[in-house]
Amino acid sequence: MLAHLEGGELLQAELARRTGVSEPAVQSVLDPLVARGFVVRQPQGVEPPTFRLTMTGVKRLKKHREYSEARAGQEWRRAPAEEPEEPEKQKLVTWTWAGETPPAREGNPALEQALIEQLEHAALPQAELVRRTGAPPNDVQAALDKLIAETFVVRVEQDDLPAEYELTEGGVGRLKLVREFAESPMSAMGKVLGAAATEAVQRRRRPAAVVRSSRMLLSDSDREVCSTALAEQFGAGRIDIAELQRRTDLLYAATTRRDLGAVFEGLPAPSLDRESTGKPAPGWRSGAAGCTSIVSVFFGLMGLALISGHDDVDDVVVGLLLVGGAVVWNYLVWSWARRRVN
């Protein structure tokens, strides 16, 4: 279609005659080209409108021709018996017959971001998203399916109307994060790294209430500690021999730590959750941690370079992962280096 418009302005009927297809089919091809800025519609008053190429359309046609000629020359010069077959490259332009649905493009972050921005204020059907983004319907559907699988968008079915799509909380958070990166990459990176470090620390830190759970079963060492504590209370004169014997019977009849309340009623209960002691960590651990930290710093610098030097969302996310991985790695390595050994 772009090649037919290269010579000048043409009517829709003339394009249908040259391409050999019906006028509605020509119109279905022209509408996406007009939406993408490759073709412009020229109103002629009461006359039918004409269509002509824009500068963007001329560049698109020129690139397609250069690519096709270069690839044809490579295939003509290549000897299949001598050179291995190369994997087929993704076509820059896909030509389809009028009315035929073109194949969907997989992995289109720009389209996904555009869909999220369109769904920010209200739920919209697929047809409206196609109209607003100017992308083919199958590309829009593929991007929506991916966003639904990643829980950024949810599909809302309706009885007599087409299904609508709306953002979830995760989608709102993704949109906010991308905008923060666009405005201040370093500030957004600091927030994400801080949240990742806090989550890592909380996972490694076990609350004391969980360790001292009253439902934990008593072990032989627990009973030995409690028996020693009762003997100390008898030596201090707080209980007599008969009371010591009664409480000792209750102690060996107890099964959980909750049952120790009757054993030490009116007496200070011993602590059964003592931190394990061990030898200090050997010095070679610090040396190993230092060597791995130097390597992780290199990856952290690579991540900062990606974040500060690129505007692409994918590059920023990769840079964030590199920097966050370096920080978490250093924390885990130095925690291992300072851990005491038995």
End-to-end CA distance of the chain: 78
- Cα torsion angle, 316, 322, 328, 334, sign: negative
SS3 26: helix
Angle at 122 between CA 120 and CA 123, to 5 degrees: 105
| pLDDT at residue 208, as a whole number | 45
HSE-CB for 40 with a 13 A CA cutoff: 12
Whether the pLDDT of residue 247 is over 80: the answer is yes
Q: 60-90, pLDDT tens digit by residue?
A: 777 777 766 666 666 655 545 455 566 665 5
| pLDDT at residue 165, as a whole number | 92
Q: 89-136, pLDDT tens digit by residue?
A: 555 445 555 555 555 556 678 888 888 888 888 889 989 999 988 888
| Average pLDDT of the residues in 131-157 | 89
Whether the pLDDT of residue 149 is over 70: the answer is yes
Q: Are 152 and 168 in contact (CB under 8 A)?
A: yes
Euclidean distance between CA atoms 297 and 304, whole angstroms: 10
Confidence class for position 37, pLDDT limits 50, 70, 90: confident
Euclidean distance between CA atoms 75 and 88, whole angstroms: 12
Tally of CB atoms within 10 A around 145:
13
Euclidean distance between CA atoms 318 and 173, whole angstroms: 18
DSSP state of 217: B
Q: Decide which of 185 and 39 is more confident.
A: 39
Q: 202-233, pLDDT tens digit by residue?
A: 555 544 444 445 678 888 888 888 988 998 88
Q: Are 139 and 105 in contact (CB under 8 A)?
A: yes
Helices (H), 264-312: 283-309
Return phi, psi of residue 117, to 5°. Answer: -65, -35
Confidence class for position 188, pLDDT limits 50, 70, 90: low
Dig out the tokens for 161 from the structure.
């109307």
Four-CA torsion 176, 313, 116, 126, nearest 10 degrees: 180
SS3 48: strand
In what side-by-side order are the strands of the sheet with 164-167? 124-125, 164-167, 153-156
| Average pLDDT of the residues in 281-307 | 75
| Average pLDDT of the residues in 132-153 | 88
